[in-house]
Amino acid sequence: MRALRAIDRLDRRVHRFVTDLGAPALDPYTPKFVQATDNMAPWFLVSATLAATGGPRLRRTALRAMAAAAAANALSAGVKHLTDRTRPDLAGVPRTRIPYRDYRSSSFPSGHTAAAVGYAAGVAADAPRPLTALVAVLAGTVAVSRVHSGVHYPGDVLGGAAIGLAAALAVRAVVPPRPELAYGAETLPEDDHRAPVPGRDALSRGALPGTGVTAVVNPRSADVLPAAVAEGLPGPVAGGTPSRIARALPGATIVALSEEDDITEVMDRAAAAGEVLAVAGGDGTVNAGARAALEHDRPLLVIPDGTLNNFARTLGLTSVDAALRAYSDGRLARVDVGEVDGRLFLNTASFGSYPRMVERRDRWAPRIGKWPAFCVALWHDLREVDPVPAVVDGRPTKVWWAFVGNCRYRTHARVPALRESLVDGRLDVRVLGARSPFPRVRAVVDVLLGRYWRGEGYRERTARELVLTLPEEPRLLAVDGEVVEGSRTVRFSKRSAALRVFVPAAGA
């Protein structure tokens, strides 16, 4: 107790020194600044700006920082209830500095400082340095204003800063920094680089670029191609991506999918008709194209034109133009494909609750959009879903969700992130099982905190094949995002280096 009293005396002495030293030029502004930081207003403003103007990485940074500020604010409020430190005596402080007439809560700790430091530490985890420095200066200004205005002792500010830092570290464990997005996984180059690339050797005979290419487009725009470009193209062709393909590859045959088309039949005809099959769309469309390309032994040109484009990005094809350049460069490579229950998958196949969530998302997407629909579906799943009975490699279990990836995924928390190789010959198997009592709570703990210890309900490994038995109907599988009905016994396997694809040239 004697040590605490000594610290308290020192704290009050430092406070008197700071307030007596003063800074008259700041006196008219300090109260206004203090009031402007109430209710975490500046942090909401910064987060909203990052969410509106930044990419996925900055949006994640904003989410983490806001969560850290909120946790720090709540924790400091709890500590205040456990302490009873009176506010500093404001009698000697110029009235122009005092933002409020009365502070009835405990002086320790400074909640404003806790939230500010929590937010700044959350931003510092992976934001660009200029942004980190700007937020750090703002947080430091908040801390200084609490003492300058006379409403907190320096020790209160230091205590708030410690709470903010602890909250940021805790939130970082749950929402870790996102790894740098370095697209372009390892692939297996074609053995004979001297062989002509299918569809490009016609250029030497004076043919138009793209001769021998059949491009199947899943339209995303209602614009119509200019008549000069559209003339002679079969079927209704929408603008946007089709027009860009037509300009870059005027010799290509472009086929637009409609809602009435059977995508499997269209892909089969397109692959049979040309030397190269090009597919413009999302992962589901690309999956159908890959099946046709394998069936007819055609190289596949993936043109990213969907919502997520996971497979295209993994190849390093981050835009339509990048894909068209890859074709022009003529660099072919081979990649693995996964197979489940007679169907191919390029990214992932899932069972458990995830297929139901995809179905619910697809029902809501036309009305409210895909991502809001995904959030609604996830919320319903967390409240309503029950684990699915399954036998995984002969081991009975109840599965919340299970993930099988085509090649090993780099783990981002418990969430599969990017792949560094598409030719490792392995399946990435991750299963979250239900455990009693409190199965939902334990599942959340296994997912969020499993980075620091191995939870019994969560298992991950790599394998060349996986055998699964689903005794109860419906036996739903999500294959590259498309929900299908599976059989009672499902076998996952790999076809190593089976698919030929166009990839960016080295250094592109």
- 3-state SS of 82-109 is HCCCCCCCCCCCCHHHCCCCCCCCCCCC
The DSSP result for 37-50, as a single string, is TGGGHHHHHHHHHH
Least confident of 90-94, 458-462, 470-474, 481-485: 90-94
Contact of 412 with 57, CB cutoff 8 Å: no
Q: Does pLDDT of 20 surpass 70?
A: no
What is the band of 1 on the pLDDT scale with cuts at 50, 70, 90? low
Query: Which two tokens mark 117?
Result: 């430091």
CA atoms within 13 A on the CB side of 439: 17
pLDDT of residue 31: 66
Q: How far is Cα 257 from Cα 180, in angstroms, rounded to an integer? A: 35
**Residue with the larger pLDDT of the pair 448 and 381:** 381
DSSP letter assigned to residue 505: P
User: pTM for this one?
Assistant: 0.65
Q: What is the mean pLDDT of the chain?
A: 80
Q: Does pLDDT of 35 surpass 80?
A: no
Q: How far is Cα 77 from Cα 418, in angstroms, rounded to an integer? A: 39
Contacts of 478 (CB under 8 A, 6+ apart): 348, 349, 350, 351, 354, 355, 358, 484
CA distance between the termini of the chain: 67
Q: How large is the average pLDDT for residues 349-369?
A: 76
Contact of 453 with 414, CB cutoff 8 Å: no
Q: Does pLDDT of 475 surpass 70?
A: yes
Give me the numbers of helices (H) and strands (E) for the chain, helices first please: 16, 18
Q: Does pLDDT of 136 surpass 60?
A: yes
Contacts of 216 (CB under 8 A, 6+ apart): 255, 256, 257, 266, 267, 270, 277, 278, 279, 280, 281, 285, 289
CB atoms within 10 A of CB 180: 8
Instruction: Map residue 279 onto helix, strand or coil.
Output: strand
Q: How large is the average pLDDT for residues 26-39?
A: 69
Highest mean pLDDT: which range of 29-33, 128-132, 223-227, 361-365:
128-132
Contacts 24+ apart (CB under 8 A), 442-449: 443/400, 446/414, 447/413, 447/414, 448/174, 448/413, 448/414, 449/173, 449/174
Least confident of 217-226, 230-239, 262-271: 230-239
Contact of 49 with 38, CB cutoff 8 Å: no
Q: Does pLDDT of 253 surpass 90?
A: yes
What is the band of 36 on the pLDDT scale with cuts at 50, 70, 90? confident
At what angle are helices 370-384 and 354-368 packed, to 10 degrees?
140
Please list the residues that pair with 339 across neighbouring strands. Answer: 344, 493
Taking only the tens place, the pLDDT of each residue in 271-325 is 999 999 999 998 889 999 999 999 999 999 999 988 778 899 999 998 999 999 9
Taking only the tens place, the pLDDT of each residue in 151-175 is 788 888 899 999 999 999 888 877 7
**Residue with the larger pLDDT of the pair 29 and 321:** 321
What is the band of 196 on the pLDDT scale with cuts at 50, 70, 90? low
Quick one: which H or E segment has residue 482?
A: strand 482-485
Q: Does pLDDT of 59 surpass 70?
A: yes
Q: How large is the average pLDDT for residues 341-349?
A: 92
Q: Does pLDDT of 439 surpass 80?
A: no
Q: Does pLDDT of 238 surpass 50?
A: no
Please state the separation of Cα 282 from the chain's center in Å.
17
Taking only the tens place, the pLDDT of each residue in 79-104 is 888 887 777 765 455 555 555 544 56
Considering Cα of 227, then 233, then 237, then 240, what sign does the dihedral take? negative
pLDDT of residue 21: 59
Q: How large is the average pLDDT for residues 340-367?
A: 82
pLDDT of residue 289: 96
Contact of 334 with 204, CB cutoff 8 Å: no
pLDDT of residue 384: 76
Contact of 368 with 297, CB cutoff 8 Å: no
**Residue with the larger pLDDT of the pair 140 and 238:** 140
Q: How far is Cα 229 from Cα 219, in angstroms, rounded to an integer? A: 16
Phi, psi of 208 (to 5 degrees): -70, 150
pLDDT of residue 311: 93
pLDDT of residue 424: 94
Contact of 254 with 246, CB cutoff 8 Å: yes
Q: How far is Cα 448 from Cα 433, in angstroms, rounded to an integer? A: 14
Q: How far is Cα 419 from Cα 336, in angstroms, rounded to an integer? A: 12
pLDDT of residue 224: 36
Pairing of strands 415-419, 409-412: antiparallel
pLDDT of residue 255: 93
Q: How far is Cα 58 from Cα 241, in angstroms, rounded to an integer? A: 28
